[in-house]
């Protein structure tokens, strides 16, 4: 493996706080950023925690401004919401909610030139820790991946909120996180760059490993506990892997084929309605197959993916026959992703289609769940 020359960068949030009462620390955390924090929320989250958050902030002498988010995260929407907050003298933007709201808060902080804090109410992916902003059009098609100048100043993950959300969100988070060690290793073995634009530091693979081992040990139990709305050790460990470790791993270690494959699934009938992490879990399986690993290694990963209720084959994804033309469309769109240099060999349409078909053949050897 080549270490090579050149500068390398490490990025992380300023603070990461996780636990069953983490939300109660919000006031203390945002207080140093001035008296007028902007809170970005949608209507359901406002109903869920709005009063609790506002009374906490006013109790420490702050005068928060609520920017209510509706619709999609589009440039027009972000500009409009940002304009409505100009002149308030805000020193920080706080996003409370799911991916769209957090990304909107990130985009607003970028435009207002102030730091931001994420308070995820679901753990469906690792975006709360990262500087990445996914921008969409009105039809929810991904049109751009923008970046903040720095990661969130703080990430506050209240696990009591996470276990109140439907379990499919945590399952998606597990899917998004389980690919990261394979992607960081592929980036290291290839010639590509991390999202920070440098070759990875060794720490990224170590974080990816820790993330994967945690998921292997605790995911099934954590999903069961989440279903019963219980904050347990397994939940705490898995949430750390999903939000913190996964985020640090991809931003510092790089993405690869697993995430590239999601470009195809986002437009594939049957699969497109699934959450991002469901796509990534299958993408990880296909990546491992494309790397040329042995059948037993691929099957081992597929068994784990299935055990967590994530898709391990075309059929699991809900893609209906005829499969082959759809596999070619998925492969073509995968080739438009920017992460393909992060792979140990050249990625071609044939390589992708053959890997997808190999996985589908192997799936017939898995026990029916
Ligand atoms: Zn992802």
Q: How does strand 154-158 pair with strand 142-147?
A: unpaired
When pLDDT is cut at 50, 70 and 90, the band that residue 205 belongs to is very high
Residue 96 has pLDDT above 80, yes or no: yes
Distance 109 CA to ligand 1 centre (A): 22
Distance 184 CA to ligand 1 centre (A): 13
Distance 320 CA to ligand 1 centre (A): 25
Residue 108 has pLDDT above 60, yes or no: yes
Distance 280 CA to ligand 1 centre (A): 7
In a domain, 68, yes or no: yes
The last residue of a domain, from among 162, 187, 202: 162
Q: Measuring CA to CA, which residue among 138, 154, 136 is closest to residue 146?
A: 136
Cβ neighbours, 10 Å, residue 206: 16
Q: Are residues 318 and 240 in the same domain?
A: yes
208-229: pLDDT as tens digits? 999 999 999 999 999 999 999 9
Name the residues around ion ligand 1, CB cutoff 5 A: 176
Q: What is the pLDDT of residue 3?
A: 61
Distance 223 CA to ligand 1 centre (A): 19
Distance 68 CA to ligand 1 centre (A): 26
Distance 62 CA to ligand 1 centre (A): 35
What is the domain-level CATH number for residue 108? 3.40.50.1970
Q: Are residues 236 and 143 in the same domain?
A: no
In a domain, 122, yes or no: yes
Residue 1 has pLDDT above 60, yes or no: no
Q: What is the pLDDT of residue 312?
A: 97
Distance 23 CA to ligand 1 centre (A): 24
In a domain, 7, yes or no: no
Range of the domain at 179: 167-363
In a domain, 277, yes or no: yes
Q: The tokens of 280 are what?
A: 């990534």
Q: Are residues 48 and 149 in the same domain?
A: yes
Mean of the pLDDT values across residues 280-290?
A: 98
Q: What is the pLDDT of residue 88?
A: 95
Q: Are residues 202 and 255 in the same domain?
A: yes
Q: How does strand 142-147 pair with strand 132-136?
A: antiparallel
Residue with tokens 């589009």: 74
Q: Is the dihedral of CA 281, 283, 285, 287 positive or negative?
A: negative
Distance 277 CA to ligand 1 centre (A): 6
Distance 247 CA to ligand 1 centre (A): 9
In a domain, 3, yes or no: no
Q: Are residues 149 and 181 in the same domain?
A: no
Task: Give the CA distances from residue 143 to residues 115, 194, 267, 339, in Å, rounded to whole numbers and listed in that order.
Answer: 24, 20, 13, 16
Distance 190 CA to ligand 1 centre (A): 20
Distance 252 CA to ligand 1 centre (A): 14
312-355: pLDDT as tens digits? 999 999 999 999 999 999 999 999 998 888 898 999 999 999 99
Distance 17 CA to ligand 1 centre (A): 21
Q: Are residues 27 and 132 in the same domain?
A: yes
Distance 173 CA to ligand 1 centre (A): 8
Distance 65 CA to ligand 1 centre (A): 31
Q: Are residues 211 and 318 in the same domain?
A: yes
Q: Measuring CA to CA, which residue among 207, 174, 339, 178 is closest to residue 260?
A: 339
Distance 263 CA to ligand 1 centre (A): 11
- Average pLDDT over the chain reads 95
Can you state the percent helix, strand and coil of the chain, rounding each to 5? 55, 10, 35
Distance 284 CA to ligand 1 centre (A): 11
Q: What is the pLDDT of residue 190?
A: 86
What is the domain-level CATH number for residue 302? 1.20.1090.10
Q: What is the pLDDT of residue 4?
A: 65
Distance 362 CA to ligand 1 centre (A): 25
126-157: pLDDT as tens digits? 999 999 999 999 888 888 999 999 999 999 99
DSSP structure class, residue 155: E
When pLDDT is cut at 50, 70 and 90, the band that residue 2 belongs to is low
Distance 125 CA to ligand 1 centre (A): 6
The last residue of a domain, from among 111, 128, 162: 162
In a domain, 71, yes or no: yes
In a domain, 6, yes or no: no
Distance 127 CA to ligand 1 centre (A): 8
In a domain, 5, yes or no: no
The last residue of a domain, from among 146, 162, 178: 162
Q: What is the pLDDT of residue 147?
A: 95
228-279: pLDDT as tens digits? 999 999 999 999 999 999 999 999 999 999 999 999 999 999 999 999 999 9
When pLDDT is cut at 50, 70 and 90, the band that residue 357 belongs to is very high
For the chain, the domain total comes to 2
């Amino acid at each position: 493996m080549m270490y090579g020359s050149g500068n390398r960068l490490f990025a992380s949030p300023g603070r990461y706080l996780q636990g069953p009462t983490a939300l109660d620390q919000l006031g203390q955390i945002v207080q140093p950023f001035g008296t007028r924090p902007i809170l970005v929320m949608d209507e359901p989250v406002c109903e869920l925690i709005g009063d609790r958050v506002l009374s906490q902030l006013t109790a420490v002498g702050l005068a928060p401004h609520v920017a209510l988010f509706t619709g999609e995260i589009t440039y027009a929407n972000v500009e409009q919401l940002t304009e409505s907050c100009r002149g308030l003298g805000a020193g920080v933007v706080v996003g409370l909610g799911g991916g769209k709201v957090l990304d909107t808060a990130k985009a607003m902080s970028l435009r207002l030139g102030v730091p931001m804090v994420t308070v995820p109410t679901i753990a469906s992916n690792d975006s709360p820790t990262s500087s990445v902003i996914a921008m969409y059009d009105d039809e929810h098609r991904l049109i751009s991946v923008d970046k903040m100048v720095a990661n969130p100043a703080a990430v506050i993950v209240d696990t009591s909120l996470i276990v109140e959300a439907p379990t499919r969100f945590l399952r998606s988070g597990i899917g998004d996180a389980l690919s990261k060690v394979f992607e960081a290793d592929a980036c290291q073995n290839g010639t590509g760059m991390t999202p920070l634009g440098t070759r990875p530091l060794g720490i990224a693979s170590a974080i990816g490993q820790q993330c994967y081992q945690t998921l292997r040990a605790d995911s099934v139990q954590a999903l069961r506990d989440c279903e019963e709305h219980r904050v347990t050790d397994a939940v705490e460990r898995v949430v750390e892997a999903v939000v913190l470790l996964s985020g640090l791993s991809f931003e510092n270690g790089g993405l690869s084929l697993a995430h590239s494959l999601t470009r195809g699934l986002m437009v594939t009938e049957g699969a497109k309605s699934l959450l991002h992490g469901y796509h990534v879990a299958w993408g990880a399986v296909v990546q491992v197959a494309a790397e040329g690993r042995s059948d037993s290694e691929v099957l081992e990963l597929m068994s784990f993916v299935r055990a967590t209720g994530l898709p391990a084959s075309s059929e699991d994804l809900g893609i209906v026959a005829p499969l082959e033309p759809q596999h070619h469309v998925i492969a073509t769109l995968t080739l438009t992703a920017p992460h393909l240099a992060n792979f140990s060999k050249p990625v071609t349409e044939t390589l992708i289609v053959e890997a997808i078909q190999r996985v589908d053949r192997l799936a017939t050897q898995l026990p029916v769940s």
